[in-house]
Amino acid sequence: MTGGGAQRMVIAVLGMGGLGKTTLVSCVYNSHQVKKHFECAAWISVSRDTEPMDFLTSAAAQLFREEDSDADDTRSTTDLSTLARKINDYLRPRRYVIILDNVWGAEYANAIIDAAFPDNVRGSRIVITTRMEGVASILAHHTHNLECLNSEDALTLFCKKAFRRSSGRVLTGEFLHWAHRIISKCDGLPLAITAIGGLVSLQNTPEEWRRIHDSLDWNPNNNQELHRVNQVLMSSFDELPYYLRHCFLYCSMFPEGSSIRRKRLIRLWVAEGLVEERRGLTMEEVAEANLKELVFRSVLLVKETNECGRIKSFRVHDVVRELALAMAEEERFSEVFRGSQASSRCTEARRLSIHTTDHQFSRAIRMPSLRSFSVFGAATFSRLFPRGMMTSLGFKLLRVLELNGTPIESVPNEIFDLLNLRYLGLRGTNVRELPRSLERLRNLETLDVFNTEMSSLPCRISKLQSLRHLFIFNKIEARKHRITRFLFRSETLAGVWELKGLQTLRTISSNPEIARKIGGLTQMRSLSIIGVRSVHGMDLCASIAKMERLLRLCMIAANEPMREFLRLEYLSPPPPHLQKLILIGQMEGVPQWFFSLNNLTHLWLLDTQIGESKNPLQVLGSLPSLAHLTLDDAYKGRELRFPEHSFPALKVLYLSKMLRLVSVVILPGVMPGLRELYVRSCTELMEPLKGVHCLTKLQRMCLVLMPSEFIEKIRGARAAFKHVADVKHHYKGADGRWAVQLL
């Protein structure tokens, strides 16, 4: 805060409620160093209801000293613009620090900052605390993201609060065991750890700590001692607009600590009817905007992003989830069944999530208002619901049925009487077939039979005119080229081109008719097609060119009875918004239309075996947005030379199984933002990559199954790229087990 240049600087401390933003800033604000450095200071608590006049009046009361000649005049000012000008005039010759605590709105705060707090080139500072990522990004020059505590720091804080009367005490034995168990329920949230530390501070035996652990419940109705934790977190919920509230509550239905995939949640929200229409956007696009807003508000925590910063998965903080579960139950929005006795409200809940294998559940309750039913875990459907039980429980209004990962082998016939069903999730089950009565589900929007035992679909799939997302293949098996066993017979998907609203089709087998007619699916966003033969090339490329909204394309060449070439030269122009492209199969070279892929961010070339005379990097290096590149048996040349100033946006590079490769040359200015480099099974590559020292942003180098001579030379040249913090060699030992070696 006291360093940096003379320009006025706005610093944001960002994080969810309870992370200690205010505590951190308060410690700095009240430090001797800050008090000495700044000539005047003010701390302003900003609630959602704070009026601009109250805001400035509070600032003036702290800034103007009693002896200031215009102090009384300023305090009596009732005109907003006059008061802002007086504060501005007062601060202009002084180095000041202003704290704006708990800012909710960027536009509101920005207007006041500009009017009252001048950039006087004296090293003044404005610090804001906020839960809103959008506020920080708009207002701040620098943002400090607070995160939950790790287990070591969490234990330190817990001990400080639990043993405040006997500082320095060391936890051992059962006390340490129960401390860890209690802390784990706080999930690193400082406010919760502090509250529980105070709760156990008067308990002197491990048995009393165990009882606290066993009874710990974040429901605001059950623990008055933890009321402040609830108040802080509930303020985030209360601020949610109506169109986000139910989207957020829905996330609490997933198991504690689980990783929630972005695309899956979006499809579920749409099927549930939780997303409102907006002109010019699909329902899925609106849902993704809602998800981003929940993240911006620090209500959801990002768990994984791709190389471009797009969310791949996220989670709900455990303490936040417990509060959300209580809210959802209170509002009859949803119920989570975890094996304990069902609540009296459960029969009225509109959504049910099963997290238990307890087969007595079906005897417990009837739920005539149920709209959504999800099973997490290995519970068998037949044990949960004996034949005919679906109807007797009153599931006729069901919109979502998700049985992913359950070991069921067949689907009860009464499911196909659920005429309101929008989402049927059978991914990862042992289901072998679906009956023809599937065609009765005319409102079905998502059918997910990915990675099942199925090899065909009912022949009248074209009757499902509401279908938007169809998942019918295992991409892992496709990559391994064990195609025949897992292939959906093309004739069973006859008429799929009549599903005009289809946005996702993964995966379909190519044949001449599909190659010609699939171009009618003009709403397609994600397409995977396998078994592509050279003779399909012209028609298939013409069809794909019609899919102007396509974002992801996967094409896999047939390899039986012989290896086929992917004939892609006919795809011109390609879909203009294409972001991800996966090509598996031999190619004669990179087509010229690649130069037009300005939006492409991810590219996989697998088994393409492009000849040495057609180095693919000459074309690929010009792609302005490419962030991820995988070359797996993609090139048959001996030297892979990265042209100067190529790959301006690349973050991750995989080089794998290029068996003739003996040299990799990286020229200056290449891949300026590369963070991760993976080299695997390039058995003839004996020399270190030339030019790695130029990759100044490189953080990780992962070498897998590389020759020992290559590894030794990397070790010897380690000083040349000492800026790379993480360099590892993954190999198999004499016993066949994987091992890791730090270099």
The angle subtended at Cα 172 by Cα 168 and Cα 174, nearest 5°, is 135
Structure tokens at 406: 């359950």
Q: What is the pLDDT of residue 345?
A: 54
- Look at residue 485 and tell me whether its pLDDT is greater than 50: no
Q: Where are the domains of the chain?
A: 9-145, 151-216, 229-328, 607-743
Angle between helices 242-251 and 262-272 (to 10 degrees): 120
- Look at residue 436 and tell me whether its pLDDT is greater than 80: yes
Cα four-point dihedral sign 264, 269, 272, 276: negative
- Look at residue 703 and tell me whether its pLDDT is greater than 90: yes
- Look at residue 491 and tell me whether its pLDDT is greater than 80: no
514/494 Cα distance (integer angstroms) = 8
The DSSP code sequence of 153-201 is: HHHHHHHHHHTTTSTT----HHHHHHHHHHHHHHTT-HHHHHHHHHHHT
381/383 Cα distance (integer angstroms) = 5
Residue 479 confidence class, pLDDT cut points 50, 70, 90: very low
Q: What is the pLDDT of residue 441?
A: 93
88 to each of 91, 377, 422, 498, how far by Cα in Å? 5, 61, 58, 66
Whole-prediction pTM: 0.75
- Look at residue 480 and tell me whether its pLDDT is greater than 60: no
- Look at residue 423 and tell me whether its pLDDT is greater than 90: yes
For 680, phi and psi rounded to 5 degrees? -135, 130
Whether 9-145 and 229-328 share one fold: the answer is no
29/449 Cα distance (integer angstroms) = 57
Q: What is the mean pLDDT of residues 554-575?
A: 88
Structure tokens at 229: 């934790």
Q: What is the pLDDT of residue 489?
A: 54
Structure tokens at 295: 């993240």
Q: What is the pLDDT of residue 221?
A: 54
3-state secondary structure 692-709: HHHCCCCCEEEEECCCHH
Range with the lowest mean pLDDT among 248-252, 612-616, 664-668, 702-706? Answer: 612-616
182/155 Cα distance (integer angstroms) = 10
- Look at residue 2 and tell me whether its pLDDT is greater than 90: no
> Are 411 and 432 spatial neighbours (Cβ–Cβ below 8 Å)?
no
Q: What is the mean pLDDT of residues 511-525?
A: 92
Neighbours of 519 (CB within 10 A): 18
Q: What is the pLDDT of residue 590?
A: 93
- Domain 9-145 sits in CATH at 3.40.50.300
Residue 559 confidence class, pLDDT cut points 50, 70, 90: confident
Taking the CA of residue 206 as centre, how many other CA atoms within 13 Å lie in the half-sphere pointing to its CB?
10
- How do residues 356-382 score in pLDDT, each as one tens digit? 655 555 544 567 788 999 887 655 455
Residue 219 confidence class, pLDDT cut points 50, 70, 90: low
Q: What is the pLDDT of residue 184?
A: 82
What residues have CB less than 8 Å from 201, skipping those under 6 apart?
Answer: 161, 162, 163, 164, 165
Range with top average pLDDT, 200-204, 214-218, 684-688: 684-688
Q: What is the pLDDT of residue 701?
A: 93
More confident residue, 466 or 182: 466
Residue 478 confidence class, pLDDT cut points 50, 70, 90: very low
- How do residues 113-164 score in pLDDT, each as one tens digit? 888 999 988 899 999 998 888 888 888 889 998 888 888 888 888 888 777 6
- How do residues 630-670 score in pLDDT, each as one tens digit? 999 999 999 999 988 899 999 999 999 999 999 999 988 99
Place of tokens 């007619």: 517
- How do residues 51-65 score in pLDDT, each as one tens digit? 788 788 888 888 886
Q: What is the mean pLDDT of residues 4-32?
A: 85
Q: What is the pLDDT of residue 500?
A: 92
What residues have CB less than 8 Å from 120, skipping those under 6 apart?
Answer: 8, 91, 92, 93, 94, 95
Which amino acid is located at 627 in the chain? A
Angle between helices 190-200 and 206-215 (to 10 degrees): 130
Instruction: Say which CATH topology domain 229-328 has.
Output: Arc Repressor Mutant, subunit A (1.10.10)
382/410 Cα distance (integer angstroms) = 9
457/491 Cα distance (integer angstroms) = 10
- Look at residue 308 and tell me whether its pLDDT is greater than 70: yes
Q: Are strands 260-261 and 311-315 parallel, antiparallel or unpaired?
A: antiparallel
**Percent composition of the chain: helix, strand, coil (DSSP 3-state, to 5):** 35, 20, 45
